[in-house]
């Protein structure tokens, strides 16, 4: 079994995937726009992503730009969790993800290791863990 996250964006999915691809050294795969789809979206939305995947070492999630008639409600229903073995690498990743976003729990040592929780500049919630 494989369970994956599928993230929805408000027209800035490509920007978000570019951001994440740099942080996680990952590639954007299966990039598909609304251009040739028989979906009723405005012409200004045709170049937005109808589907894409981000794949890298230990990383695979899907994402898309929700059609204009599908409002996105930011909430706390999902958090992406990243587990690392190196504290410096984990803290650097946390700092990159939280840059321009909001820190909910500073990255610091906890009872179980190092941990930080933030929302990035796209409104996606992240938990960064390091068990050292």
If asked whether residues 60 and 111 sit together in one domain, one would say no
User: What mean pLDDT is predicted for residues 58-70?
Assistant: 91
55 inside domain: yes
If asked whether residues 10 and 57 sit together in one domain, one would say yes
Range of the domain at 90: 79-130
Specify the pTM: 0.88
How far apart CA 21 and CA 18 sit, in angstroms, is 5
Q: State the DSSP code for 75.
A: -
**How many domains would you assign to the chain?**
2
User: What mean pLDDT is predicted for residues 10-29?
Assistant: 97
If asked whether residues 59 and 83 sit together in one domain, one would say no
Return the CATH number at 107: 3.30.720.110
If asked whether residues 27 and 54 sit together in one domain, one would say yes
39 inside domain: yes
How far apart CA 116 and CA 102 sit, in angstroms, is 11
Q: Of 16, 41, 65, which marks where a domain is finished? A: 65
98 or 36: whose pLDDT is higher?
98
User: What mean pLDDT is predicted for residues 59-80?
Assistant: 87
74 inside domain: no
Return the CATH number at 34: 3.10.180.10
pLDDT at 1 over 70: no
14 inside domain: yes
- 32 pLDDT tier (thresholds 50, 70, 90): very high
109 inside domain: yes
- 36 pLDDT tier (thresholds 50, 70, 90): confident
Write down the H helix ranges in the chain: 13-24, 87-98
Provide the b/e sequence for 105-121 (b: ≥16 CB within 10 Å): eebeeeeeebbbbbbbb
Contact status, residue 29 vs residue 20, Cβ threshold 8 Å: no
Mapping DSSP onto H, E and C, the string for 78-112 reads CEEEEEECCHHHHHHHHHHHHCCCEEEEEEEEECC
State the pLDDT at residue 76: 73
């Amino acid at each position: 079994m494989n369970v994956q996250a599928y993230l929805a964006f408000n027209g800035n999915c490509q920007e978000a995937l570019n951001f994440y691809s740099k942080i996680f050294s990952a590639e954007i795969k299966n990039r598909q726009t609304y251009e040739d789809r028989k979906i009723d979206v405005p012409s200004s939305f045709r170049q937005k992503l109808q589907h894409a995947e981000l794949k890298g070492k230990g990383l695979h999630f899907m994402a898309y730009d929700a059609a204009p008639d599908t409002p996105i409600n930011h909430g706390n229903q999902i958090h992406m969790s990243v587990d690392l073995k190196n504290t410096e690498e984990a803290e650097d990743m946390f700092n990159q993800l939280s840059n321009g976003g909001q820190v909910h729990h500073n990255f610091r040592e906890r009872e179980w290791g190092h941990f930080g929780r933030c929302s990035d500049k796209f409104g996606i919630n992240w938990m960064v863990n390091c068990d050292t």
